[in-house]
Structure 1
Amino acid sequence: MTAVLVLLVAVAALTGHTLVNATRWLRRPTPGPVEVTEAVAVLLPLRDEAGRVTPCLRALLAQRGVPGLRIVVLDDGSTDGTADVVRAVAGDDPRLTLLTGVAPPAGWLGKPHACWQLAGRTDPAPTVLAFVDADVVLTPYAVAAAVTELRAADATLLSPYPRILVRTAADRLVQPLLQWLWLTFLPLRAMERSARPSLAAAGGQFLVVDRAGYLRAGGHAAVADRVLEDIELARAVKRAGGRIALADGSRLAACRMYETWPELRDGYTKSLWASFGHPAAAAVVVILLLALYTAPPLVAVAALAAGAPTVAGVAFLAYLSGVAGRALTARSTGGRAWPDALAHPVSVVVLGWLTLRSYHLRKRRRLTWRGRPVT
């Protein structure tokens, strides 16, 4: 009984932390209308994105509130006609420049190298850089609102996390864990105030940085070989004396990260090992998550079968508390709360399996992404 009570208290405390983060410390940029006078460059790296880049490009070309907006697109060795799609969508719009990338040299991964090439080709130099992925669709004032929030936060880097679109059962099990993890376990206020690089989070789908601070931090050259280049860039900014901030960008952007289960599985597999570092640390975290969020419903069922209704009731309360944290995260970030939150214990099991798969394939040197080796 004591162990089950400890589980209940621990899960309830974490859900309470989620509530505090979501209601007090999570930044929520105004979606518009808003206008900025700074020169802003939106940077879009593309590799084999012909099938899904059109909505992203149209949204970028429809941006309002940024008179000095420039859009720089890099075709990073695509073989599917991505550059042709960009030309067809952009037409003769003078705000958009299409570049042809070069292959990453030794010691560089593909995305950091593409972003670094983009950052070095913004002439005349803007004061703000906005990195966007091809699967992100921005609302009309998204860039202006993000730049306004960057300045309001007095930050060097702002990560306005998009609303993650889910369509399949696999999506609903896995994708909401991204927001849930940082809202539940990351002290947002301390992250903004602390100079510790280890206390950092960011999402590369939509990232806004002060250009001068970005260069002081070494830009993407400082994270050339990092799989999680977004988080590592945030840490580099902190090491250079800058500040970072995280925001709910669900009213500014939407993102459909993966179209199929194999894409989702492989996308997480390529990077989860980098999230945890040493395998022992990953094992501890996964075991802890399973104990807190997957064990309670199992204990409740077992206790009922054993004729211990009090233990079953406490375990069920622990399960409901975890469900509440998941639902609260969804409501706070534009996600779907019900009935998805009820399957939270299964989500944690899937996360554990993906983590195990990530370390297994990395050990065998079989991790790849978009046709390039990851490690």
Structure 2
Amino acid sequence: MTGVLALLLAAAALTGHTLVNAGRWLRRPADRPAQVTETVAVLLPLRDEAQRVAPCLGALLAQRGVPRLRVVVLDDGSTDGTAEVVRALAGDDPRVTLLAGAAPPPGWLGKPHACWQLATRADPAATVLVFVDADVVLTPHAVAAAVTELRAARVALLSPYPRILVATVADRLVQPLLQWLWLTFLPLRAMERSARPSLAAAGGQFMVLDRAGYERAGGHAAVADRILEDIELARAVKRAGGRIALADGSRLATCRMYADWAQLRDGYSKSLWASFGHPGAAAAVLALLLLLYTAPPLVALGALAAGTPAVAAAALATYLLGVAGRVVTGRATGGRWWPDALAHPVSVAVLGWLTLRSYHLRKRRRLTWRGRPVS
């Protein structure tokens, strides 16, 4: 009984932290901000994105409130006609520049190298750099809102997290964990105030940077070989004396990250090992997550079968607190939460399996993404 009560108290504290983060500390940019007077460069790296670049680029060209907008697109060695699709969409729009990317040199991974080429070739007059992935679709005032929040927060890097679109069962099990993990375990206000690089988070799908702060941090050259280049860039900004912030971007952008289970599985497998670092640390964190969120419903069923209703009630309450954390996260970030939150124990178990797979493939040097090795 003592162990179950300890789990109950821990789950209650973490769900309480989720509630405070989501209700008090999470930044929410205004839907319709004032017009931005700065020159803003939106940077779009593409590699074999012919099938989904149209909604993304179309939304960028429809941005309002940023009269001095520049869109720089880099075709990173695509073989599916991505560049032709971009040319057809952009037409003669003078705001758009299409670049042909070079292959990453030794010591560089593909995504950081593509972003570095974009940043170094953006309009020198641009004081703000906005990195957007091809699977992101922005609302018409998204760039203006994000730049306004960047300046209001007085930070060098702002990461407005898009609303993650889910369609398959795998999506619904795994994707909501992205926001749940940082709302539950990351103290947002402390992250903004602290200079510690280890206390950092960011999402590369939609990331807004003060250009001077980006350059002081060394830009993507400082994270050339990092698979989690977004988080590592946030840490580099902190090391250079800049501040960072997360924001709820669910009203500004949507993102459908993976089309099917195979893409989702491989996408997470390529990077989860880097999220945890040493395998020992990963084992400790996964054990804690499984104890807190996957074990309680099993313990409740076992306790009922054993005729110990008090233990069953405590375990059930622990399970429901985990579900409540998912509900709070979904409601705060525009995500789907019902009835998916009821499967939270399964979600955590799938995350554990994906993490083990990530370490397994990395050990055998079999991790790849978009046809390139990542380890």
- Where on the TM-score scale, by shorter chain, does this alignment land: which range? over 0.9
- Report the aligned-residue RMSD: 0.5
Question: Aligned AA for 2:137?
Answer: V
Question: Aligned AA for 2:285?
Answer: V
Question: Aligned AA for 1:213?
Answer: G
The 1-side partners of 2:228 and 2:32 are apart by 31
CA contact (8 A) 1:34 1:141 kept: no
CA displacement, residues 86-113 of structure 1 (integer Å, 9 cap, x when unaligned): 0111111110000000000000000000
CA displacement, residues 268-287 of structure 1 (integer Å, 9 cap, x when unaligned): 00000000000000000000
The 2-side partners of 1:47 and 1:213 are apart by 27
CA displacement, residues 50-92 of structure 1 (integer Å, 9 cap, x when unaligned): 0000000000000000010000000000000000000111111
The alpha carbon displacement at 1:124 in A equals 3.2
Please name the residue that 1:10 is paired with. 10
TM-score (norm 2): 1.00
The 1-side partners of 2:236 and 2:47 are apart by 25
CA contact (8 A) 2:40 2:128 kept: yes
Listed as ranges, the matches of 1:64-83 within 5 Å are 64-83=64-83
CA contact (8 A) 1:294 1:346 kept: yes
Listed as ranges, the matches of 1:156-175 within 5 Å are 156-175=156-175
Give the unaligned 5+ runs of structure 2: none
SS at 2:320 equivalent: helix
CA contact (8 A) 2:41 2:123 kept: no
Question: Aligned AA for 1:133?
Answer: D
Question: Aligned AA for 2:260?
Answer: T
User: How many residues matched?
Assistant: 375
The 2-side partners of 1:34 and 1:49 are apart by 33
Please name the residue that 2:355 is paired with. 355
CA displacement, residues 310-367 of structure 1 (integer Å, 9 cap, x when unaligned): 1101100000000000110000000011100000000000000000000000000000
The 2-side partners of 1:9 and 1:125 are apart by 53
Please name the residue that 2:298 is paired with. 298
Structure 1 runs of 4+ aligned residues shifted over 4 Å read: none
The 1-side partners of 2:123 and 2:86 are apart by 20
SS at 1:79 equivalent: coil
Listed as ranges, the matches of 1:1-375 within 5 Å are 1-375=1-375
SS at 1:162 equivalent: strand
CA contact (8 A) 2:323 2:341 kept: yes
The alpha carbon displacement at 1:33 in A equals 4.6
The alpha carbon displacement at 1:123 in A equals 2.5
The 1-side partners of 2:173 and 2:246 are apart by 23
The 1-side partners of 2:365 and 2:97 are apart by 37
Question: Aligned AA for 1:282?
Answer: A
Question: Aligned AA for 2:351?
Answer: L
The alpha carbon displacement at 1:32 in A equals 1.1
The 2-side partners of 1:250 and 1:34 are apart by 19
Identity of aligned pairs, percent?
83
Question: Aligned AA for 2:13?
Answer: A
The 1-side partners of 2:90 and 2:131 are apart by 18
The 2-side partners of 1:33 and 1:329 are apart by 25
The 1-side partners of 2:12 and 2:259 are apart by 34
